[in-house]
């Protein structure tokens, strides 16, 4: 992506020094714009899907068929008064939502959306993502403690305990992908899954292409832990208003309150993108060949246009996989009840942790039998 940005400046005879200076701004603006659009759409999508799955009408008043309801809610939150209690630690109280929200924005820049659409190509991208996501736990603790409210403090402690507990099996499941790919670089992990859903099915014992096959157990563990990390049902104890009085965000209002939910919906999207990248071939086509090449290669001789079509198709494949996972997560919300705090912790330490270790063992045996 950076190389294309430099070439664009060179094409219009603009000094490349300006490109080097302005480059950090470009991915930030792109990530921020994408994040806002994604969150607005996901909030509306979830309301519509939950209404469909629970036989209700859902938003149907503001705008055509209720499509402007999310915009109305955003405007309402923007104009709500920002209230802070007298005895709160005002500096930490203000910083906490930012600490909770900022790591999600960084992750958007680390995930490859196509072969060329990647803001930051880090050699240890997966390790960096896992490290950055753990920073949000600090925001949870800060918000609970700075509120000077016992309910908020208890909710913050529970939220932090939940995040830390489920990060361990999640990281072990991700380690299995590193073993399969031989790398922590996300584009390398994606390219290691080339060949379609299965590869050489009838002519080679090494039939697996996507990581979902040798690491199927890891996918289940990673998916469940992701639900807990982004506080989705059945792991949404921080939002259990009747038990925790809304947990760590009890004292927040206005845009500070909105930042917590903005981060959760933004994390919902990016975690599904990450699952697609790690287990489902990412932006690669499930058919090994790109449909755009099969259709247009005989009509278009311009390689630049063909590459552009391929990149658009790659984004489309990634979005198709991502929104399928999002649909499953929203389906789970409409189906399953919430776990108790003790059940939630026991499930992580007694079930998911052993399963993640078993997955790592299976993946190691597979890679030993079929080396790269």
Give a yes or no: residue 230 inside a domain. yes
Structural domain for 202, as ranges: 80-369
pLDDT at 178 over 90: yes
pLDDT of 202 reads: 45
Which of 82-86, 273-277, 291-295, 368-372 is the most confident on average? 273-277
Q: Measure the CA–CA gap between 258 and 58, rounded to whole angstroms.
A: 21
Give a yes or no: residue 299 inside a domain. yes
Q: Measure the CA–CA gap between 4 and 354, rounded to whole angstroms.
A: 45
Give a yes or no: residue 177 inside a domain. yes
Contact 229, 267 (CB under 8 A): yes
Q: Measure the CA–CA gap between 206 and 213, rounded to whole angstroms.
A: 11
Using one digit for the tens of pLDDT, what is the confidence trace for 17-72? Answer: 777 777 767 777 777 788 888 888 999 999 999 999 988 888 888 888 888 988 89
List the one residue out of 25, 137, 51 whose CA is nearest residue 330. 51
Give a yes or no: residue 315 inside a domain. yes
Give a yes or no: residue 2 inside a domain. no
pLDDT of 244 reads: 53
Give a yes or no: residue 24 inside a domain. no
Domain count, the chain: 1
Give a yes or no: residue 21 inside a domain. no
Rg (CA), the chain: 22
Distant-in-sequence, close-in-space partners of 285: CB < 8 Å, separation ≥ 6: 196, 291, 313, 314, 317
pLDDT of 187 reads: 92
306 or 19, which is more confident: 306
- The least confident of 117-126, 127-136, 239-248, 353-362 is 239-248
Collect contacts of 72-81 with beta carbons under 8 A, ≥24 apart.
Answer: 73/43, 74/40, 74/258, 77/254, 77/255, 77/257, 77/258, 78/254, 78/255, 80/253, 80/254, 80/255, 80/257, 81/253, 81/254
Mean pLDDT for 248-258 is 85
pLDDT of 208 reads: 59
Contact 100, 143 (CB under 8 A): yes
- 20 CB-side CA count, 13 A: 3
List the one residue out of 127, 130, 155 whose CA is nearest residue 141. 155
Which residues of 28-155 form beta strands (DSSP E)? none
329 or 24, which is more confident: 329
pLDDT of 173 reads: 95
Question: What mean pLDDT is reported for the chain?
Answer: 85
Distant-in-sequence, close-in-space partners of 237: CB < 8 Å, separation ≥ 6: 155, 158, 159, 162, 231, 243, 244, 247, 338, 339, 341, 344
Mean pLDDT for 105-124 is 86
Q: Measure the CA–CA gap between 312 and 254, rounded to whole angstroms.
A: 37
Q: What percent of the chain has pLDDT over 70?
A: 92
Q: Measure the CA–CA gap between 348 and 252, rounded to whole angstroms.
A: 29
Contact 255, 82 (CB under 8 A): yes
Give a yes or no: residue 23 inside a domain. no
49 or 14, which is more confident: 49
pLDDT at 206 over 60: no
CB atoms within 10 A of CB 138: 16
pTM score, two decimals? 0.88
CB atoms within 10 A of CB 341: 14
pLDDT of 241 reads: 52
- The least confident of 94-103, 302-311, 352-361 is 302-311
Give the pLDDT band of residue 151 (cuts 50, 70, 90). Answer: confident
Contact 99, 91 (CB under 8 A): no
Mean pLDDT for 189-218 is 73
pLDDT of 106 reads: 86
Q: Measure the CA–CA gap between 19 and 340, rounded to whole angstroms.
A: 53
pLDDT of 238 reads: 65
Contact 35, 108 (CB under 8 A): yes
SS3 content of the chain, % helix, strand, coil (to 5): 70, 0, 30
Contact 111, 277 (CB under 8 A): yes
pLDDT of 213 reads: 87
């Amino acid at each position: 992506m950076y190389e294309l940005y430099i070439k664009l400046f060179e094409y219009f005879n603009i000094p490349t020094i300006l490109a080097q200076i302005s480059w950090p701004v470009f991915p930030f603006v792109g990530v921020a714009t994408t994040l806002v659009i994604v969150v607005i759409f996901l909030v509306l999508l979830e309301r519509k899907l939950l209404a469909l799955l629970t036989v209700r009408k859902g938003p149907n008043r503001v705008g055509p068929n209720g499509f402007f309801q999310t915009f109305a809610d955003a405007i309402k939150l923007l104009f709500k008064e920002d209230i802070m209690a007298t005895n709160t630690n005002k500096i930490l109280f203000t910083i906490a939502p930012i600490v909770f929200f900022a790591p999600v924005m960084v992750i958007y820049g680390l995930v490859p959306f196509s072969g060329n659409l990647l803001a930051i190509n880090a050699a240890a991208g997966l390790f960096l993502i896992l490290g950055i996501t753990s920073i949000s736990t600090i925001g949870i603790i800060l918000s609970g403690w700075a509120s000077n409210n016992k309910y908020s403090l208890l909710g913050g402690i529970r939220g932090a305990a939940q995040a830390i507990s489920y990060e361990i099996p999640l990281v072990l499941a991700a380690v299995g992908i590193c073993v399969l790919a031989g790398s922590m670089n996300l584009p390398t992990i994606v390219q290691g899954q080339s060949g379609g859903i299965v590869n050489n099915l009838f002519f080679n014992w090494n039939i697996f292409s996507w990581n979902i096959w040798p690491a199927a157990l890891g996918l289940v563990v990673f998916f469940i832990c992701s639900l807990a990390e982004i506080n989705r049902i059945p792991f949404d104890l921080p939002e259990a208003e009747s038990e925790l009085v809304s947990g760590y965000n009890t004292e927040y209002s206005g845009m500070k309150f909105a930042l917590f939910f903005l981060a959760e919906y933004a994390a919902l999207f990016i975690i599904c993108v990450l699952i697609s990248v790690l287990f489902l071939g990412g932006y690669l086509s499930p058919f090994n060949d790109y449909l755009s090449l099969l259709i247009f290669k005989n009509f278009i001789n311009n390689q630049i246009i063909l590459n552009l079509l391929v990149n658009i198709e790659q984004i489309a494949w990634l979005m198709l996989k991502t929104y399928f996972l999002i649909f499953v997560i929203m389906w789970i919300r409409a189906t399953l009840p919430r776990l108790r705090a003790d059940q939630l912790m026991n499930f992580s330490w007694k079930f998911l942790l052993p399963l993640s270790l078993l997955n790592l063992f299976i993946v190691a045996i597979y890679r030993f039998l079929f080396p790269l």
